[in-house]
Amino acid sequence: MVTLAVDAMGGDIGPEVTIAGAALAIKRYPDMRLVFYGLADRVKPVLVRYPELAQCTFHASESATAMDEKPSQALRNGRGRSSMWHAIEAVKAGTADACVSAGNTGALMAMSYFCLRMMEEAERPGIAGVWPTLQGESIVLDIGATIGADANQLVTLAVMGAGMFRALYHVERPTVGLLNVGVEEVKGLEQIRQAGQILRQIDLAGLEYKGFVEGNDLGKGTVDVVVTEGFVGNIALKAAEGTARQMAQTLSEAMRSSVFSRLGYLFSRGAFRKLRDKMDPGRVNGGVLLGLNGVVIKSHGGTDAEGFASALRVGYEMVKNQLLDKIIADLRHFRANLLDLQADSEETE
């Protein structure tokens, strides 16, 4: 059994979406066990609508973290009280294998860091998201956990992102690229060039480094894992989401502009449906907070039931495929090789 702790209050809508999504997920994964945390007067009336969740467990919380709360305020007000905190705490206590929340990202990051702490092998956390591409799907990180990163931290993100890709897609050596302003080795910030040099010099069994990639490679699926620091990653994510919505709205308006366009839509609606499904962020919903002593999944706050079910799937796959064990082993291997590289460099000097 894989046990997931669910913050039922998270997201723009709350239990109506999270519980409906849970009902979808538990049908697909019979060995999934769910434990809900939330306000009793909000959660219980929704739970009774889904007989398939009758075997799931519910624990009442005193409060729910608001979507607009500052992380420090949410941590101060929610510690030991909120549904988000209780779901994370279940992972720390070992009563759940992973936590899934569609709540306030900053609050989830702060509470997870405070409650679970960083794994010894990682310096800082990162949020890894699944990105739809022309080739299928890729992993992009960091998409907003922290701002800035030095060369070693970028390599650490690469190792963790590759571990996540292996766990989710069962690829032995995912390809990895560093997001840069050009593919030439002389371009970009110093820390990106240094990270590229480290990845070229150290042979890491868990990934295959392909060099620098540019912004337009994100959608092409040039590599399996794209690595950047949180400031750039978050801007790229929001720009892509905004572009997808713009395309959808523009296309919808064009299809309604005349009788002929409406007629054309009737013949092409299968293709439009395929495009919608490909671009729908709900299909690839579920960012993973990496580097912590526990698995925490961040769902889009505005997702629907299908999207939240997707986030639960990510949590399930991360646990089932032993994500933490793989990342710890890969990071230890990287640290050992880095020490050897530094020692050889000092001897040369």
- Alpha carbons 225 and 139: distance in angstroms, whole number: 5
Cα 154 from chain centroid (whole Å) = 17
pLDDT at residue 290, rounded to an integer:
92
Fold of 1-122+291-320: Isopropylmalate Dehydrogenase (3.40.718)
141 φ/ψ sector (left φ>0, alpha ψ -120 to 50, else beta): beta
Under 8 Å CB-to-CB from 127, ≥6 apart: which residues?
Answer: 105, 109, 141, 142, 143, 144, 145, 230, 233, 287, 288, 289, 290, 298
Token output for 147: 């701002």
Residue 44: per-residue pLDDT: 95
Q: What is the pLDDT of residue 87?
A: 97
| DSSP of 53-88 | GTTSEEEE-SB---TT--HHHHHHHHTTTBHHHHHH
Model confidence, pTM? 0.85
Structure confidence at residue 289 (pLDDT): 92
Dihedrals phi, psi of 64, to nearest 5 degrees: -130, 140
Closest CA to 84 of 55, 44, 53, 115: 115
Measured CA to CA, the distance from residue 83 to residue 63 in angstroms comes to 6
pLDDT along the chain (349 residues), means of 10: 95 94 94 96 95 93 92 90 96 96 92 92 86 88 87 92 88 93 87 92 86 91 94 87 77 76 72 64 75 93 89 92 88 82 65
Q: Report the CATH fold assignment for 123-284.
A: Isopropylmalate Dehydrogenase (3.40.718)
Helix (H, G, I), strand (E, B) or coil at 170: coil
Residue written as tokens 């150290």?
202
Contact indicator for 223, 138 with CB cutoff of 8 Å: yes
Q: How many CB atoms lie within 10 A of CB 307?
A: 23
* 112, 65 contact by CB (below 8 A): no
Domain extents for the chain? 1-122+291-320, 123-284
Please enumerate in sequence order all residues whose Cβ is within 8 A of that of 26, keeping only pairs 6 or more positions apart, or say none: 32, 34, 52, 53, 56
Burial of 186 (0-12, 13-18, 19+ CB in 10 A): exposed
Among residues 222, 169, 214, 219, which one has the least CA distance to residue 188?
Answer: 214
- Contact indicator for 99, 297 with CB cutoff of 8 Å: yes
The CA-based angle 302-157-318, given to 5 degrees, is: 60
One fold for 1-122+291-320 and 123-284: yes
Torsion sign across C-alpha atoms 77, 230, 300, 177 = negative
What tokens were used for 182?
A: 């050009």
Residue pair 60/38 in contact (Cβ under 8 Å)? The answer is: yes
